[in-house]
Structure 1
């Protein structure tokens, strides 16, 4: 049961610590942060629990808002009103409550021999308990890691939740990690157990297992074992190992857990140094799932459905695929491992989710595919689509500002185009379309808005347990990442004359600290308890937040001018539809230059970029007197008309520059597109600028040779 205040409260936006007082004072108010069980009379809650039920609240002793110890505890940032006052819950308490309410509802859907199979919440919960007991039998110690290495699957979820139930730390490891990167994570979290997907992932661990002193067992959850060792188990055998562990022993461990201690680690990508382990408490997960789910209008009785395909090691995927569904009784269906290589739409058509989260590159890929299909249709169909999209865009903007008026012809456009597009995409039942984890262009947002698919931006970071600002159908603006979540606060630190400054967070979604990294934690959380995001942003008059840049990505030219690269890069991609990726160069340089890649086909198996140009690229080439169909041909032939077209696009971007220092002086087309497998993109397809700078150092230096 949780304490819930249902009175509507709008989150207060503040621009300085003085305007809101010291948030640390708020954290110290109330009676939750103590070492003893408290008996508190609870008001009505949405969970169906009887009015006046006595609630026992246990928290570990804590004097500070952060810690770097794996068994440490923190003071919860309790607020006296709104969602900030909801009673703390552990993961298992939240899970048990949902099982009580929705035990027979579908919790997990997965393909087995090309047929969809499902688990109810009651079955899911029972499987997690089995996994927890087996972890205990294998020797999992309190606050030691259970690393999970592989693509999203029921086993991934069960291992993750089972590890938490058993008192360990659930630790996702990116499936694209090298053996050395896997070793770093396993050593750092002192992993007792590693759960791997298949022989390829097992091979990585076997290469480094002798350097992992805490490792006791390895579990493979797909396909047959190719290596036999006493400490390696297949999933089915693993799930039986703990059968003789008494349920009472597991219950004792579960009952000993408290909401203000760590239960999961999210490792950063390590693009600016070694990966940091973001420590998330049980309260971080349960409170954020509850608050974010309500903010984006997830309804418990609606039997919502989501499709899981983004890397589960990332907090955005965990929140969308594990914790929010667990809180609200929603079903998570698993896509095929090649989802990002083309099969995702097939899964969407079969599942027909009610909510869908895609990182910007996923939305861009869908957009590109739709444009390719449209280019091959008849002239009449293209004209109808253009007419309908114009109506759809006007209607979308009307709706954005609360105007329910629809333009003339909307009903016909909806019948001829909008409904059919959503059916083709498998989004005809979807009412919530989200994006996050990286910037998305206005062009892509307007493309989908014109088709009556409004994409709602979310903003946050691993250190804020995922979302901190959210958008939804009742409040969204083009290119804004929404409004601050209820129970949280946002501060713009040291704003400039335009109101732009560093975005700082406050709320119960703020992480506990970086495991064993005191200096880095102090850099992230200031003395007053604010989390510094490293992002630059500003609020408009309606409290919508806009991201204007990232401090670490800011280019400071030799002349001292600060330049945010993303808006310029987005403008180039908008002007030149052939460009897949654009990266601005110029830090400490006399002028700006840019690396460009062309849109091309990707290998379905590996995701590696191929030499063959994508249809949109071929069309662009032919329009500009270049007969090429391969990237290598474009570079070899160097057709003047083609290169002039690229320069014209660059010139168009430069014409909008606020100063000469912000103009692109030189550019080059690279031999291949950026990719995850190539290392230029992270697991969520976010540009890894540091990696690209190293990879193309010689080309970059050639720009600046006198």
Structure 2
């Protein structure tokens, strides 16, 4: 079993701003963020991403955003979402991405509880949902709007994203000082449980915690250097923050942002990601697409996955030894995979996927077993925000009786099994995470 000592040493001294600086200096010409899968998709290199973060951080200071403040973000999966989030982190503020499924009452509760001083909105759609609560937020000083054409004419709190970005000239020394000032145990982000119906409960994540989480995932499910990934779930989910945002920053990976759910399949086919985190509904849709591909194959090729479907998860474990592989010595698992399963995975862009994760709820019955039968074992992440996302991961296994169990992998323990939960007075209680 791995212990905290096995994984905590590389964490020392690391923060998200320092990792971003490393990426810009060492891997500056490598792609960082691409928005959308099509030919018109725009890409930011790591050097360009950090430059954008620096520009917006300077503008945020002009708005009065400072260490200890909260900043709420309501945006789709796009580069400006990352830029705004990371810019707030550099000035010492606490960003929080809100879920698009929140009702007006839930938006009001989260906004009041966070005591946010700055709100960043994408455009007319987000403004329509947030405007009914703006006058109830006594701490709010500014609303930054990406699409300035949607701005109301009679509200001085509104300012354009472009104006904030260009508010001050470059100051490299000042930005390096901001980067150096961030400590590993400082708060990094504030996360609220999406769809909560009661009073909001905010969880504070620190730099040390999310970097440790990325290390534990590497030990459990390694990926190549500079891995490709596709980001689809909202950044308000703790798992997508830890696994889809902070982990690629540590790896200097290439993230393709998918703002529209109906573009996910084209994005996967274009990117062929090494890592992908999806909700149960996303995996159910991908399983349906794979079944449709399977139905188009000749009968002699469709028989092979069916023969191994109930035991395929065991075949993907390091030590199976349960006899659940084809008896024909010429039809080894490797040949079976190359002949039938890999072409199926190629059809949905997941033939190179090394880290397939699902979270938020259990996968529907039969979905993980089918995916494993075509060589795509999906690890179900079980955990909560207080544990920075993942607590354990496992692959569903169906035995001969049809009963469903889980082949669970241990996740090395972090520096603390507890995470600080933001209290009702966030300006005092949520600033310092506790580490017994």
TM-score normalised by the shorter chain: which range applies? 0.7 to 0.9
Q: Any runs of at least 4 consecutive aligned residues in structure 1 with deviations exceeding 6 A, and if so which?
A: none
User: Gaps (5+ residues) in structure 1?
Assistant: 1-9, 13-78, 473-477, 489-506, 530-706
Answer whether contact 1:193 1:217 (CA < 8 A) is retained. Answer: yes
Name the SS for the 1:264 alignment partner. strand
Q: 1:272 to 1:283 in 2, by over 3 A?
A: same
Residue 445 of structure 1 corresponds to 368
The structure richer in helix per residue is 2
Residue 643 of structure 1 corresponds to none
Q: Which moved more, 1:394-403 or 1:342-351?
A: 394-403
Residue 83 of structure 1 corresponds to 7
Q: Is 2:417 the counterpart of 1:515? A: no
Looking at structure 1, the residues matched to 435 and 161 of structure 2 have their Cα atoms a distance apart, in angstroms, of 46
Residue 400 of structure 2 corresponds to none
Answer whether contact 2:222 2:354 (CA < 8 A) is retained. Answer: no
Answer whether contact 1:392 1:450 (CA < 8 A) is retained. Answer: yes
Q: 1:312 Cα deviation (Å)?
A: 0.6
Q: 1:114 Cα deviation (Å)?
A: 4.9
Pick aligned residue for 1:237 from 163, 166, 172? 163
Q: 1:447 Cα deviation (Å)?
A: 0.5
Q: 1:204 to 1:480 in 2, by over 3 A?
A: same
Looking at structure 2, the residues matched to 509 and 326 of structure 1 have their Cα atoms a distance apart, in angstroms, of 24
Q: 1:85 to 1:99 in 2, by over 3 A?
A: same
Answer whether contact 1:465 1:510 (CA < 8 A) is retained. Answer: no
Deviations 1:633-668 (A, max 9, x none): xxxxxxxxxxxxxxxxxxxxxxxxxxxxxxxxxxxx
Residue 103 of structure 1 corresponds to 28
Answer whether contact 1:284 1:465 (CA < 8 A) is retained. Answer: yes
Residue 244 of structure 2 corresponds to 321
Answer whether contact 2:74 2:122 (CA < 8 A) is retained. Answer: yes
Looking at structure 2, the residues matched to 314 and 357 of structure 1 have their Cα atoms a distance apart, in angstroms, of 11
Q: 1:450 to 1:265 in 2, by over 3 A?
A: same
Answer whether contact 2:36 2:267 (CA < 8 A) is retained. Answer: no
Q: Is 2:172 the counterpart of 1:181? A: no
Pick aligned residue for 2:316 from 386, 393, 399? 399
Looking at structure 2, the residues matched to 429 and 307 of structure 1 have their Cα atoms a distance apart, in angstroms, of 13
Answer whether contact 2:184 2:206 (CA < 8 A) is retained. Answer: yes
Residue 144 of structure 1 corresponds to 69
Pick aligned residue for 1:462 from 354, 379, 385? 385
Q: 1:417 Cα deviation (Å)?
A: 2.6
Residue 47 of structure 1 corresponds to none
Residue 493 of structure 1 corresponds to none
Deviations 1:41-95 (A, max 9, x none): xxxxxxxxxxxxxxxxxxxxxxxxxxxxxxxxxxxxxx5x211344143221232
Q: 1:249 Cα deviation (Å)?
A: 4.0
Q: 1:528 Cα deviation (Å)?
A: 11
Q: 1:441 Cα deviation (Å)?
A: 4.4
Answer whether contact 1:307 1:348 (CA < 8 A) is retained. Answer: yes
Residue 127 of structure 1 corresponds to 52
Q: 1:223 Cα deviation (Å)?
A: 7.4
Looking at structure 1, the residues matched to 37 and 166 of structure 2 have their Cα atoms a distance apart, in angstroms, of 21
Answer whether contact 1:220 1:232 (CA < 8 A) is retained. Answer: yes
Residue 486 of structure 1 corresponds to 412
Q: 1:82 to 1:373 in 2, by over 3 A?
A: closer
Q: 1:243 to 1:290 in 2, by over 3 A?
A: farther
Deviations 1:354-411 (A, max 9, x none): 1111122211122234445656x4xx73563133332465454233252489523356
| Residues 163-182 of structure 1 mapped to structure 2, 5 A cutoff | 163-182=88-107
Q: 1:517 to 1:215 in 2, by over 3 A?
A: closer
Looking at structure 2, the residues matched to 392 and 484 of structure 1 have their Cα atoms a distance apart, in angstroms, of 25
Answer whether contact 1:293 1:324 (CA < 8 A) is retained. Answer: no
Pick aligned residue for 1:357 from 240, 260, 277? 277
Q: 1:430 Cα deviation (Å)?
A: 1.8
* TM-score of the two chains, using structure 2 as the length reference: 0.85
Q: 1:471 to 1:103 in 2, by over 3 A?
A: farther
Larger radius of gyration: 1
Looking at structure 2, the residues matched to 202 and 441 of structure 1 have their Cα atoms a distance apart, in angstroms, of 35
Deviations 1:305-359 (A, max 9, x none): 110110110111111221000001111101132x1xx331111111111111112
Tell me how many residue pairs correspond in the alignment. Answer: 415
Q: Is 2:6 the counterpart of 1:11? A: no
Q: Is 2:381 the counterpart of 1:390? A: no
Looking at structure 2, the residues matched to 369 and 113 of structure 1 have their Cα atoms a distance apart, in angstroms, of 20
CA RMSD after TM alignment: 3.0
Residue 354 of structure 2 corresponds to 431
| Residues 519-530 of structure 1 mapped to structure 2, 5 A cutoff | none
Looking at structure 2, the residues matched to 130 and 329 of structure 1 have their Cα atoms a distance apart, in angstroms, of 21
Residue 541 of structure 1 corresponds to none
Looking at structure 1, the residues matched to 38 and 369 of structure 2 have their Cα atoms a distance apart, in angstroms, of 39
